[in-house]
Chains A and B, each alone.
Chain A
Amino acid sequence: MNIYQGLVPFGTALFLASSLTAVPGYSQDAGNKDEACIPLAKQYPDLGTDQSVSANKEFATSWGSFELPGGPCGYAAAAEHYNALLEDAKSRGGPTPHTLATLPDWSGHWGTDNSVGEVTLAGINSTREGMAARLTSEAREVFFKDLEMWEATTAIDPISMCLPPNFPRWITVYSYREHFLTPEKTLLGAEMMNEFRRIFTDGRPHPSDEWLTNEWLGYSIGFWDEDVLTIWTKGIKEGILTRGMPRQTNELEVIERWRRVDPIEDDALGRIEIEITLYDPTFVEPWHTVAAFYKEDDRTPELKEQVWPHLWSCVEGSRWYMTEEGVISEYAPGEKPDITSPDYWFNENYVHK
């Protein structure tokens, strides 16, 4: 087997760790929100849009805003952001005590209208420099080393090994979505890995440190503000935002606001827009963007035959593995035993001890 040596389709990447500090006005570890801050978008006007240095400004929203919540450099923490939203809802008599009859209609199947999925975190105008600018100097070093491994195909993507995509990557993955709303809990489902997020809206707080774990989807609480679902997630497992993007630590916390809006542009049946704000100790500024799911048309019998979530049978459908040389490759026919077959389960030629 040949060890892969070459360039990924993204092009040559030359990593210069310290040079980002040469940019005027750049504060390398701007973790103190009390100091006068210069928003990243002002420091790097060529790397993105007015607000997020990596938002997809060409993605027109009906309701979601690319403006960073909490002022020019954002809130200091997810708790502050969540509580501000909660107090705002309370000032208007909320949170809204929905019943099954009053909850908004998020029924049906929804899809992501992009071919990649990752665009909803980084944006199509993202560059590595833009993403690196978001990170503390220590995290930047890790990011650069990770990128080298991605380009050498020696890095492992967890979903290729049938692990969950983690959160917030869950928002960006392609595949159908399903949403089941009740007054005290909402299930948000993704076809990929058959995963359902559970959003507790019964007023409970997150578990205490005694009981909170760090798991792929984290622990989510939220409240309804009329037809907007606000979510606060913590207890997330460390990992990667997605392939080729910076890492997230297990202290990542995410604030989301979900709302179904009317169709715009080419939407036939409407969309759900999602404002997402990421808070991580390795980010010098909260990372904010907007994503959308589009309702799939399955109104006819013919479409109902086609539009439905298939089981994500990762062991069957993913044939990736790591070679002895430490490079990711894929099984060719006959190389991987069909462990989904009873002929394998009851084959005395295999060691089933």
Chain B
Amino acid sequence: MKDLVGKALLSSGVVLLTAGSVLAHHSAAMFDDKVELTLTGVVTRFDYLNPHAWLYVDVTLDSGAVTEWGFELEAPPRLRRQGISPKFWQVGDLVTVKTHPLKDGRPAGHLSGIIKSDGTTYGDSAGLTAPES
């Protein structure tokens, strides 16, 4: 479809470069924006550093197997504007995370939203319920 449209435009001599933002927002192209997973687990590590903070969570799958997932967050200047300090998530916290995972299925993703067992949220937490121990 893309090639057919391209050829039609070429013959008419018309330029069509889709408008809309060319803002090169920090690319999340390796994450699947069509897939959103909801995962629950225990925080093992929170690295509050530039260029990206990373939250590591031991996720227990239905099979009982435990996989360590890594979730990419924004940099400290942006996190702190939203009230996220280096101690916001502590080792041992039970959390439920919404994430756009890596397209190839490896256990990492871009963090969309998160809720702790005490109900504290960050990001897009719509649809998330606080996990219970």
> Out of A4, A13, A124, A330, which one reaches B21, CB within 8 Å?
A124
Interface size on A, residues (CB 8 A): 61
Are A126 and B51 in contact, with the CB atoms below 8 A? no
The answer, among B13, B47, B70, B106, for a CB contact under 8 Å with A19, is B13
Does A243 lie within 8 Å of B102, measured CB to CB?
Answer: no
Which chain B residues border A132 with CB–CB below 8 Å? 17
Given contacts A14-B6, A244-B22, contact A312 B51 (CB under 8 A): yes
Asked if A351 CB lies within 8 Å of chain B CBs, one says no
Interface: A98 (CB within 8 A): no
On whether A118 and B20 interact (CB within 8 A), knowing A9-B33, A153-B30, A175-B75, the answer reads no
Q: Which residues of A sit under 8 angstroms from B69, Cβ to Cβ? A: 332-333
Is B22's CB under 8 angstroms from A335's CB? no
Of B77-85, B90-98, B112-120, B122-130, the one touching chain A = B77-85
Q: B107 at the A/B interface (Cβ < 8 Å)?
A: yes
Contact call A122/B23, Cβ cutoff below 8 A: yes
> Which B residues from 42 to 83 make CB contacts under 8 A with A?
47-54, 56, 68-70, 72, 75-78, 80
Q: Which of B9, B14, B17 contacts A128 (CB 8 A)?
A: B17
Interface flags for A132-173 (1: CB within 8 Å of B; 0: not) read 100000000000000000100100010100000000000000
Contact A312 B107 (CB under 8 A): no
Answer yes or no: A24 CB below 8 A from chain B CBs: no
Q: Do residues B24 and A118 form an inter-chain contact, with CB atoms below 8 A? A: yes
The residue in chain A whose Cβ has the minimal distance to the Cβ of B86 is A310
Is A242 close to B, CB under 8 A? Answer: yes
Complex Cα gap A150–B29 (Å): 9
Distance of A142 from chain B, by nearest CB (Å): 15
Does chain B have a CB within 8 A of A2? Answer: yes
Taking residues whose C-beta sits less than 8 angstroms from the other chain, chain B's interface range is 35 or more
Q: Which among A306, A317, A330, A334 is the interface contact of B85 at CB below 8 angstroms?
A: A306
With a cutoff of 8 Å between Cβ atoms, the chain B residues found around residue A311 in the complex are 49-50
Determine the distance from Cα of A16 to Cα of B5 in the docked complex, in whole angstroms. Answer: 12
Contact B27 A243 (CB under 8 A): yes
Known pairs A19-B15, A153-B30, A317-B49; A330 contacts B72 (CB<8 A): yes
Contact status B104-A329, CB under 8 Å: yes
Whether the Cβ atoms of B14 and A19 lie closer than 8 Å is yes
**Contact residues in A for B14 (Cβ distance below 8 Å):** 16, 19
Given contacts A153-B30, A311-B50, contact A242 B24 (CB under 8 A): yes
Chain A residue contacts of B10, Cβ below 8 A: 16
A307 on interface, CB distance cutoff 8 Å = yes
B30 and A4 form a contact (CB under 8 A) = yes
| Pairwise interchain contact B47-A131, C-beta atoms closer than 8 A | no
Q: Which 7 A-B pairs have the closest CB atoms?
A: A243-B24, A244-B24, A332-B108, A19-B15, A11-B18, A332-B106, A1-B104
